């Protein structure tokens, strides 16, 4: 080997050692950075010229594990969103035994009726019936308003999530372009790929996606439901927010917005193209879980109103009214938010307590010891009947307890699902971290690089000594 060839070999070794040091130090510095994949420097012999040359930086990622972890993150976001909403619905109805729940208020109302029936001439006991009726109506009103508020918040969250999804897709498309440009120029794109992975991870929480490799370093994104979200140009997801979601508003009657992809409406339920992530859970909260709770409250309110109205001939309303009027079955939606106590039995609104003894439409108090209406009121509340055809016959308290139980069961099921999803996502993330930067292995590599650097430096020093000796001859 000539002296010049030896110099070239030693210099290429120093250059390779310097690059290796940069790569190893970068791995160690980013060992805990989300989205960072460990790098490895590619080296090969220069053939006839001798020495070593750098062929590029390889970014190590397990695409199967990465894809599974993203799907697990999406399932976790879906489950946590549903569990949080279910817990909020349960709090809106109140927990039995805490005093302010619908079940407790109904029990207190029935107990007041029993107490007043034993002493119908006692205005104090009649006043307790009127107060408990007002409290029961207020509990139904409050629960209905809270459910409407929860649905309105879900609608606003859908709008924010769609905006985040569109921004994320545009960001990935931008990084795709940068990677193509950098690769065409022969530059390293590992850092850009890290940033792209972080952007895709954020998107995967909103919608479950699969990553498809394209030429020149680009990638495409497809939802697990089959929607093409990115392939060159990002898809545009459309949604129009509704400031206030009322009880009667649904996607089916056109009063609430659904989702669009590229201007075309898409199904939003289970099995839809965007099902499975936070976005789908928010839509389900607004259109299914929230609406089911609202309808459950309206059905309970209808059962209460129709029971008491059976004691009062039309057109007069009963003790409980639909915003002061007799109930119209065609306007059941939102009844729980409109139900009020008949002003005729409320002394503060010009009524009289004696009407609780003889009926809301009575003109005279009658005999104080005689309370036909009060006795009949207790009987209709305890009568077993179905609130709708095909449903189980129960007394009114049974229907209220069944609604509370159904909501509690939905919350428990959602929390169990979220717990399982959290365990699965955590395990996959742990497996992903195990395939990340190994600090011990990197430090061992760094020691080898140090030895190689010293050897190449000694070679150059030796060659310099040889040249100086030859020049002195």
Q: Do 307 and 396 meet the contact criterion of CB atoms below 8 Å apart?
A: yes
For residue 12, which phi and psi values (nearest 5 degrees)? -65, -35
Domain boundaries, the chain: 3-60+436-472, 67-427
Residues 3-8: contacts with CB under 8 Å, at least 24 apart: 3/463, 3/466, 3/467, 5/49, 5/50, 6/50, 6/459, 6/463, 7/460, 7/463, 8/49, 8/50, 8/51
pLDDT tens, the chain, 473 aa long: 577 777 778 788 788 788 888 878 887 888 877 778 888 887 787 766 677 877 777 788 888 999 999 999 999 999 999 999 999 999 999 988 888 899 999 999 999 999 999 999 899 999 999 999 999 999 999 999 999 999 999 999 999 999 999 999 999 999 999 999 998 888 888 889 889 999 999 999 999 999 999 988 899 999 999 999 999 899 999 999 999 999 999 999 999 999 999 999 998 877 889 999 999 999 999 999 999 999 999 999 999 999 999 999 989 899 999 999 999 999 999 999 999 999 999 999 999 999 999 989 888 888 877 888 999 999 999 999 887 777 889 999 999 999 999 999 999 999 999 999 999 999 998 888 787 777 778 788 888 878 888 887 888 888 777 888 878 77
Partners of 260 in beta bridges: 238, 265
CA distance 246 to 159: 17
Task: Decide: pTM greater than 0.75.
Answer: yes
CA distance 360 to 377: 11
CA distance 336 to 333: 8
């Amino acid at each position: 080997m000539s002296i010049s060839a030896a110099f070239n070999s030693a210099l290429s070794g120093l250059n390779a050692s310097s690059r290796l040091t940069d790569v190893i130090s970068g791995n160690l510095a980013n060992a805990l950075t989300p989205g960072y994949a460990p790098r490895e420097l590619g080296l090969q012999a220069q053939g006839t010229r001798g020495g070593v040359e750098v062929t590029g930086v390889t970014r190590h990622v397990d695409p199967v594990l990465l894809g599974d972890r993203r799907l697990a993150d999406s399932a976790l976001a879906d489950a946590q969103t549903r569990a949080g909403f279910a817990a909020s619905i349960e709090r809106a109805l109140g927990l039995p035994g805490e005093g302010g729940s619908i079940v407790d208020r109904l029990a207190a109302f029935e107990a007041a009726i029993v107490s007043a029936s034993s002493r119908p001439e006692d205005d104090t006991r009649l006043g307790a019936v009127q107060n408990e009726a007002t409290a029961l109506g207020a509990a139904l009103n409050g629960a209905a308003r809270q459910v409407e508020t929860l649905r309105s918040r879900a609608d606003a969250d859908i709008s924010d999530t769609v905006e985040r999804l569109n921004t994320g897709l545009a960001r990935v498309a931008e990084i795709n372009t940068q990677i193509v440009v950098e690769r065409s120029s022969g530059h390293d794109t590992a850092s850009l790929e890290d940033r792209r992975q972080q952007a895709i991870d954020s998107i995967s929480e909103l919608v479950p996606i699969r990553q498809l490799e394209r030429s020149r370093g680009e990638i495409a994104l497809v939802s697990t439901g089959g929607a093409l979200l990115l392939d060159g140009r990002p898809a545009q997801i459309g949604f129009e927010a509704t400031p206030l979601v009322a009880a009667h508003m649904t996607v089916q009657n056109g009063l609430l917005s659904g989702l669009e992809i590229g201007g075309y409406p898409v199904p939003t339920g289970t099995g839809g193209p965007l099902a499975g992530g936070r976005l789908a859970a928010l839509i389900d909260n607004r259109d299914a879980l929230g609406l089911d709770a609202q309808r459950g409250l309206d059905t309970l309110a209808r059962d209460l109103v129709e029971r008491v109205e059976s004691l009062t001939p039309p057109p007069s309303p009963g003790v409980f009214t639909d915003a002061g009027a007799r109930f119209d079955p065609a306007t059941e939606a939102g009844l729980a938010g409109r139900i009020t106590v008949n002003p005729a039995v409320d002394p503060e609104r010009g009524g009289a307590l004696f009407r609780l003894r003889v009926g809301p439409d009575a003109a005279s108090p009658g005999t104080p010891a005689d309370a036909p209406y009060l006795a009949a009121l207790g009987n209709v509340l305890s009568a077993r009947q179905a609130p709708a055809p095909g449903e189980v016959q129960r007394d009114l308290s049974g229907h209220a307890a069944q609604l509370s139980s159904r909501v509690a069961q939905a919350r428990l099921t959602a929390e169990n699902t979220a717990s399982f999803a959290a365990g699965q996502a955590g395990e996959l993330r742990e497996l992903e971290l195990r395939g990340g930067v190994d600090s011990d292995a990197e430090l061992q590599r760094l020691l080898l690089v140090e030895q190689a650097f010293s050897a190449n430096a000694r070679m150059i020093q030796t060659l310099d000594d040889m040249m100086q000796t030859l020049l002195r001859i």
